[in-house]
Structure 1
């Protein structure tokens, strides 16, 4: 029994082994003759697959084109925003620079005023007089900055505005400046004719970049209209860190004015006064009898500074003065620049108004002489006739050119009767 069971099990194992061998051989035969398998994909299904792939590619291409357009649009939009931001940054930079200038001024004032001091002996106490200069900023006008580097001496120069209406007076003006030997002066030409005239006479000249409103006044305006422009134009000189001796062209130079300046104030100006009282101030008593015991009211008076000849330092109060005058001249069409100039300099703070805190000095009226002093007083006094002023400003008389030439004849050429034919005042 045991022998038969062993024989049956051996037979079943042989059959399994044969079946395995047959299966392996059959698999090898199929793999040889059918390398891609017994079931191949149909051509239609392949075409559908490839078509779907092509559609995806085409769709992707369209999406890319639309995306490129969108990106280009975004780039243009960003460029515009970038330009606006640059402009905004420029405006902020200018405001920051002004703020820094104010901060610098405030810091310096604080350093001096912030320290507590005991009062010294009687008569020895002196208050602050000279404001600190602003930090120069060449970015305000690089072209003008380059010219001033060549023309100015010790950061100061004479500046005059001129158009073709004053061409003959301008020639007398710069001829005497050259004769005296003053190197640091500049003509601001308000039209092309003056540019060519100055260049042909070897006179330093500067013409501003086009400005429709300003240029129209500069080309065709009379003396008062042109005078109003100078406050706007001078601002750039001060921002660049230069002190300016502003000069009208109806002035004859007999000495170098820079040798006679004090430079201890924001503004140092010649006066329209004609004696010590009117030039330097006086107590004028106003009488009102109806007030009885209080009939006499004391007032302080001074004749105005001449806005056609003054020395101005590059300080915050000086720039504020120019801004105030220029603003009022722009808003008040009939305003006279000299009146506005003096009102802003002298009117004190009061309810509704903040006065300008600027230091000022009146020039010696015999050295910086107006034509009223010359023709009414000096030419009639034997001692005063021997005095040689620094400049003579023909501001009180309309026949300016004739009187300028007479001044040259009298002081330069020694013709003692050159001033005699003229009346004290004008003919009308």
Structure 2
């Protein structure tokens, strides 16, 4: 058996031929690829336009949404700012309401008024320098309360102050002495509240400023026919309008003789500044009165504070919230307790402190100098008998301790105005029953 053997040449030739073919095929493939690459740089199936359009559309959507989002954000920001401002206002109102509720629950109306005046809290100063609040702020005037009275007061009052007296025909003679003394001194700011037509006509004929109230069935019957105490009780009801209109009032009974202008001698540092029924330093300004109870043994002595009452027939009252509350309290009690004496109620409301079941009035008060604003006990029992005191000229003399008012008023005028030295001598210290 013959075996075919290939020589070296044959083997090399075959290998060379196959390699050449492969090289040619590769070359042709490369050439074709170059041609296609040249002719179709983006490939046979070019998706670039589609992608580009999608990208462009997407970019457009992004741009549009960006604009919309920007406007939305701005709108939300504006709403947020507005809500924040409202929230601040609401928080402030809530804080204020919470504070008011707290004060109301504790019954600390005066504390609220002091906070309004003092503003922010302060630290206490050095020893001996600390002073508490004494003068309450005046109310905001409200002319709608009584427009007719407001016009009268605008003409009559001086520095928002005036003397006011109530009178009916029962006190006509005393009223004439009263306003004659005022005119003699030259006091311009005074007003008579006429409780009937006779007094209104008298004042008009004497060129006396007068105010005739509108009819009020609730109190007019008392005003027309009531006695001295009945008429005196009405003043607490009537004076309220004066204070609401923003005027300070020096309330005066008609059994008073004016010898100087009282407005030159007021301090105006309290809600109420009143003359006293006291007759010396102790009774007028207060003293420590020791009560003795022997059965208590070691504790037999009890110290008490005493002061004689304020006279409700002559006091200066400022237009403050405590002052108006005082008038309301006294007028309310007098309407419920017709047998009560207005001066007693006036002092109880001014002085009684808060205690279980009762809320005291938080009003500042001042006692007038009893030698300047003199009651008739001081004059007839002490002053007229003292060589030095008799030389003193008081601002007013109030004939409150004596029932024979008119002759004593005339005697005061004779003594202090006309210089008649023995004008006061005929009268006893007290009164004949």
| TM-score band w.r.t. shorter chain | 0.7 to 0.9
Aligned Cα RMSD in Å? 1.4
Distance of 1:109 and 1:377 partners within structure 2: 42
| 2:358 match | 353
Q: What secondary structure does 1:364 align onto? A: coil
Q: What secondary structure does 1:300 align onto? A: strand
Q: 1:276 to 1:375 in 2, by over 3 A?
A: same
| 2:258 match | 253
- Is 1:412 matched with 2:417? yes
Q: Work out whether residues 105 and 316 of structure 1, in 8 Å CA contact, stay in contact via their aligned partners in 2.
A: no
Superposed displacement of residue 112, structure 1: 4.6
TM-score normalised according to structure 2 size: 0.74
Distance of 1:332 and 1:215 partners within structure 2: 18
| 1:281 match | 286
- Is 1:201 matched with 2:206? yes
Equivalent of residue 371 in structure 1, options 376, 383, 398: 376
Distance of 2:301 and 2:113 partners within structure 1: 44
Distance of 1:405 and 1:182 partners within structure 2: 19
Q: 1:316 to 1:112 in 2, by over 3 A?
A: closer
- Is 1:387 matched with 2:371? no
Distance of 2:248 and 2:314 partners within structure 1: 13
Superposed displacement of residue 396, structure 1: 0.1
| 1:403 match | 408
Structure 1, unaligned runs of 5 or more: 1-103
After TM superposition, the structure 1 = structure 2 runs for residues 126-275 of structure 1, keeping only pairs within 5 Å, are 126-275=131-280
Q: 1:170 to 1:112 in 2, by over 3 A?
A: closer
Equivalent of residue 310 in structure 1, options 305, 312, 315: 315
Q: Work out whether residues 240 and 324 of structure 2, in 8 Å CA contact, stay in contact via their aligned partners in 1.
A: yes
Q: Work out whether residues 271 and 365 of structure 2, in 8 Å CA contact, stay in contact via their aligned partners in 1.
A: yes
- Structure number with larger C-alpha Rg: 2
Distance of 1:117 and 1:262 partners within structure 2: 27
Equivalent of residue 343 in structure 2, options 335, 338, 346: 338
Consecutive aligned runs of 4 or more in structure 1 exceeding 4 Å deviation:
104-108, 111-114
Q: What secondary structure does 2:324 align onto? A: helix
Superposed displacement of residue 144, structure 1: 0.3
- Is 1:291 matched with 2:296? yes
Q: 1:202 to 1:302 in 2, by over 3 A?
A: same
Q: What secondary structure does 1:377 align onto? A: helix
Q: Work out whether residues 284 and 301 of structure 1, in 8 Å CA contact, stay in contact via their aligned partners in 2.
A: yes
TM-score normalised according to structure 1 size: 0.75
Distance of 1:344 and 1:274 partners within structure 2: 22
Distance of 1:360 and 1:110 partners within structure 2: 20
Cα-to-partner distance string for 1:351-381 (whole Å, 9 max, x where unaligned): 0000000000000000000000000000000
Q: What secondary structure does 1:269 align onto? A: strand
Q: What secondary structure does 2:344 align onto? A: helix
| 1:42 match | none
Superposed displacement of residue 108, structure 1: 5.7
Q: How many residues align?
A: 326
Q: Work out whether residues 114 and 133 of structure 2, in 8 Å CA contact, stay in contact via their aligned partners in 1.
A: no
Distance of 1:114 and 1:352 partners within structure 2: 31
- Is 1:121 matched with 2:126? yes
Q: Work out whether residues 269 and 305 of structure 1, in 8 Å CA contact, stay in contact via their aligned partners in 2.
A: yes
Q: Work out whether residues 105 and 132 of structure 1, in 8 Å CA contact, stay in contact via their aligned partners in 2.
A: no
Q: 1:273 to 1:107 in 2, by over 3 A?
A: closer
Q: What secondary structure does 1:263 align onto? A: coil
Q: Work out whether residues 170 and 249 of structure 1, in 8 Å CA contact, stay in contact via their aligned partners in 2.
A: yes
Distance of 1:416 and 1:111 partners within structure 2: 54
Distance of 1:132 and 1:213 partners within structure 2: 32
Distance of 2:161 and 2:230 partners within structure 1: 25
| 2:16 match | none
| 2:305 match | 300
| 1:110 match | 115
Superposed displacement of residue 119, structure 1: 1.9
Distance of 1:401 and 1:310 partners within structure 2: 21
Superposed displacement of residue 387, structure 1: 0.2
